[in-house]
Structure 1
Amino acid sequence: MASTPTPSHPARNWRIALVVAIALALAFGGWGLWRVLSPASTDIRAQLADSEAAREQLQSEHEELQQRVATLGRSDQISREANRELQGTLAERDEEIAGLRADVAFYERLVGATAQRHGLSVHALAMQSQSVQARDGTAWHFKTTLTQNLNRGAVSAGQLTLEVEGTNGGKLQTLDWDALRQQPDSDGVAYSFKYFQQVEGDVFLPEGFSPVRVTVHLEPRSGAAIEHSFTWAEATGAAGSAATELE
């Protein structure tokens, strides 16, 4: 009876290795499937989803807060601008009230029941430099207030001229009306009023001339001439108060 041949050792070893490899593959596959389908894996996926949702919510809240900050900043800027405009308006109103009070005081002194009687006189003079150059000189705008309450209801009329004293090149010099107007035989500025009037015009001072005193001359249609002098510092320093006294 013939015997069954015995497999060689290399073939048998190969088969054993193949069986072991298949068993290991099945084991690892089963372990991976268990990890995927296990409750712990489900919890991790849920945590990841929750984390993503939380991140999106935080991002949305952050953007909303940024928008609120921008809105509040703009609102604060608008409030500041409105406050500055209000402060400016209040300052203007205060100036107007001060001017009106000065007007009332002036009118009371001039026409009030207890006002002292004065004939034609120069109440105030203001000189203000202009940014105008003419014939090597500088233009100055003058504004003078004339008053009278001696003859109530009577009209005072005439002409007004100026004269300025000063120095030029270290020498005393007086500029009459023609020189100040830079034209010969220049007419004075006409005035006509019952109680008061502001008379204004322009004169020109030559280059290098340093004024010291300015005199207002009044030539009424009837009666004696009247003049009143102001130092140049008084005339230029009174520009603000005199300009607002009757405006």
Structure 2
Amino acid sequence: MAETRNPQEEFVIVPKRRKPRPYRVVGVLVLCLLSGLVGYGVGWSQGGYRIEDVVQTRPSLARELSAVKAEYDEVRQEKVRLERTRAIDAQALITARDSIADLESTIANLEADLTFYRNIMAPSEASKGLQVDQLSLRDVRGEGRYDFKLVLTQVGDNKSYISGLVAVNIIGEQEGEQEVIPLRDLSEDVEDLGVRFRFRYFQDVEGTLALPDNFEPYEVQVVAKAEGSKASQAERTFEWRQLAEN
């Protein structure tokens, strides 16, 4: 009986694989081996050259590093020296300014003294004889305590001494009323109403005074009287505010 085929069956054609030939496999392996050897050789030669180059340049780099360190140390020392010099110059400038200020103050005092003595030795016609020259106050402790200095002079005729008494009164207001307080009541350095003097050229009357509570001073009145052959009187009034500010 003849075999019957189904017309829906499909035929698949499968190509037949050939077996690789041995000499081709060997050739590929040899080619890969040669490529690897060449690449390794090139890499080794380049690496060896770089290592040798680094070894040769190391001493030069060390010398450059040493030079840089030396230069750095020198620059740092120079910086320290400049800073020290600047500090010395600044201190010297401050000292110089202080010295100049002291010299200016000394010159001013000397000029004032020169004027003072010149007025004594060569006065004008209107200012001869006994004079109330200066009065100064200095706040030393606060709370109404002051150092005072009164200067009396004999202008013109200085060949003989002049003597007498000088009285000082502080005029002000206390509790709404005017008060006149003698220096004796304010200073332990003055015992009498009048302070005795005797001099040829000038005399200082110095001490400390303390103002009473609730007392507001306005003026200081000074009256000096000479006795004997040079009998005369000199008066002068000073504003307290100006004395305290100076």
Q: Does 1:197 align with 2:207?
A: no
CA gap 1:224/1:40 in 2 versus in 1, 3 angstroms: closer
Q: Distance in 1 between matches of 2:106 and 2:147?
A: 23
Number of aligned residues: 210
User: C-alpha deviations, 1:147-175, integer Å up to 9, x for none?
Assistant: 11243211122343321011122221111
After superposition, residues 98-137 of structure 1 pair within 5 angstroms as 98-112=108-122, 115-116=124-125, 118-131=128-141
SS at match of 1:151: coil
Q: Does 1:236 align with 2:239?
A: no
Q: 2:171 aligns with which of 161, 165, 174?
A: 165
Say which is worse superposed, 147-156 or 61-70, in terms of deviation.
Answer: 147-156
CA gap 1:226/1:98 in 2 versus in 1, 3 angstroms: closer
User: C-alpha deviations, 1:31-84, integer Å up to 9, x for none?
Assistant: 85x668x66543222223322332232122112211110110110110111121
* Kept after mapping to 2: 8 A contact 1:182/1:204: no
Q: Does 1:147 align with 2:157?
A: no
Structure 1: 5+ residue stretches without partners: 1-20, 240-247
* Kept after mapping to 2: 8 A contact 1:108/1:115: no
Answer with 1 or 2: which has the greater Rg. Answer: 2
SS at match of 2:211: strand
TM-score with structure 1 setting the length: 0.71
Q: Distance in 2 between matches of 1:183 and 1:41?
A: 100
SS at match of 2:157: coil
* Kept after mapping to 1: 8 A contact 2:168/2:223: yes
Instruction: Report how far residue 182 of structure 1 moved.
Output: 6.2
SS at match of 2:217: strand
CA gap 1:189/1:47 in 2 versus in 1, 3 angstroms: farther
Amino acid at match of 2:244: T
Work out the percentage of aligned pairs sharing the same amino acid.
23
Q: Does 1:209 align with 2:215?
A: yes
Match of 2:56 in 1: 46
Match of 2:83 in 1: 73
Q: Distance in 2 between matches of 1:190 and 1:148?
A: 15
SS at match of 1:49: helix
Amino acid at match of 1:64: E
Match of 2:17 in 1: none
User: C-alpha deviations, 1:121-172, integer Å up to 9, x for none?
Assistant: 2012112222066xxxx32211122111243211122343321011122221
Instruction: Report how far residue 191 of structure 1 moved.
Output: 2.5
Q: Distance in 1 between matches of 2:60 and 2:117?
A: 84
Match of 1:60 in 2: 70
CA gap 1:100/1:188 in 2 versus in 1, 3 angstroms: same
CA gap 1:198/1:186 in 2 versus in 1, 3 angstroms: closer
Instruction: Report how far residue 216 of structure 1 moved.
Output: 1.5
Q: Distance in 2 between matches of 1:83 and 1:221?
A: 56
* Kept after mapping to 2: 8 A contact 1:160/1:189: yes
User: Which protein, 1 or 2, shows the higher relative CO under an 8 Å CA cutoff with sep ≥ 6?
Assistant: 1
Amino acid at match of 1:96: T
Match of 1:88 in 2: 98
Structure 2: 5+ residue stretches without partners: 1-32
Q: Distance in 2 between matches of 1:44 and 1:184?
A: 99
